[in-house]
Amino acid sequence: MTAGTAAGLARRTRAGLAVDLVVLTVRDGALTVLLVDRGGGPFRHRWALPGGFVHHDEELEDAAARELREETGLHATDLHLEQVRTYASCGRDPRGRVASVAYLAIAPDLPPPTAGSDASDARWVAVDRVGRLAFDHNTILADGVERSRSKLEYSPLAASFCPEPFTIGELRGIYEAVWGVRLDRRSFHRTVCGVDGFLVPTGERRTSPTGRPAPLYRRGRAGALRPAIPRPSPGGHRDLRETGRQQ
């Protein structure tokens, strides 16, 4: 589009342009999201996703990185940031039409955030303990979580949850927390090590008070996981296929 006659130009819709962030990490074995207590505006003192209006001449992704920095001190170079989708329902913001572009940010576990300019408080909350949020943020959160769950399978996203360098065991903990399943330690090891470009061994090892020292890894360059890390099917295994019969 963006087709427009002179008449079309005159009556074209203008809307507020904002970004909202679904910042996920794994803390204590649970998938966790960063929430802020809104300091002002509508839904004051409601919990919400961090975010804010895009500045003039500012790219969406830069706005997302800026909000992240302002609210958490995180720098976008350290983490994965991707667009999820846009929410622009007419009634979603009482101040008027606002189109909010949601971004998913994946970060290693971090210290509790400090409240920023737009928030009176900020904290990490396990995604299954999140209450009613401001605006349509419960929907945005659900979409972000769903996106991260499915991308774990075929993208190297899981490694973005780990502070580098990390062990295979820590990586497995990410998969278990995000998917909410238990994975076989031995099969998992072989599977991830068999994915070309996923993990790069540092040559170092981490010794721990318990167990054999584990080799350390960094994120590799692979953009997609081939083969994928199989996600256990929730309903168990399929039984025999029934071939479709006609008449």
Partner DNA sequence: GCAAAAGTGTTAATGTTACACCCATGT
Partner DNA sequence: ACATGGGTGTAACATTAACACTTTTGC
Write the Ramachandran bin of 99: left for phi over 0, alpha for psi from -120 to 50, otherwise beta: beta
Q: Quick one: which of 33, 134, 183, 225 contacts a copy of itself (CB under 8 A)?
A: 134
Closest CA to 157 of 98, 210, 224, 92: 224
98 and 18 Cβ atoms separated by less than 8 Å: yes
Stretch that binds DNA, among 27-35, 58-66, 147-155, 161-169 (CB under 7 A): 161-169
Rounded to whole angstroms, what are the CA distances from 174 to 53, 98, 135, 146, 157?
32, 34, 29, 15, 10
Q: Which does 237 bind (CB under 5 to 8 A by kind): a copy of itself, DNA, none?
A: DNA
To the nearest 10°, the Cα dihedral for 72, 78, 80, 86? 40
Residue 55 is a binding residue for a copy of itself (CB under 8 A):
yes
Token couple for 228? 């994928």
Token couple for 47? 């919990």
Residue 195 is a binding residue for DNA (CB under 7 A):
no
Q: How many CA atoms lie within 13 A of 62 on its CB side?
A: 6
Beta bridge partners of 47: 37
If the CB atoms of residues 19 and 177 are measured against a copy of itself, the closer one turns out to be 19
Residue 120 is a binding residue for DNA (CB under 7 A):
no
Residue 111 is a binding residue for a copy of itself (CB under 8 A):
no
Q: Which does 167 bind (CB under 5 to 8 A by kind): DNA, a copy of itself, none?
A: DNA
Residue 41 is a binding residue for a copy of itself (CB under 8 A):
yes
Residue 3 is a binding residue for DNA (CB under 7 A):
no
Q: Which does 211 bind (CB under 5 to 8 A by kind): a copy of itself, DNA, none?
A: DNA
If the CB atoms of residues 147 and 172 are measured against DNA, the closer one turns out to be 172
161 and 216 Cβ atoms separated by less than 8 Å: no
Residue 189 is a binding residue for DNA (CB under 7 A):
yes
Could you tell me the maximum CA-CA distance found in the chain, to the nearest angstrom?
73
Q: Rg of the Cα trace of the chain?
A: 21
Q: Quick one: which of 73, 163, 201, 230 contacts a copy of itself (CB under 8 A)?
A: 201
Residue 9 is a binding residue for a copy of itself (CB under 8 A):
yes
If the CB atoms of residues 111 and 209 are measured against DNA, the closer one turns out to be 209
- Positions touching DNA (CB under 7 A) are 167-169, 184-187, 189-191, 193, 205, 207-215, 227-228, 230, 232, 237-238, 240, 243-247
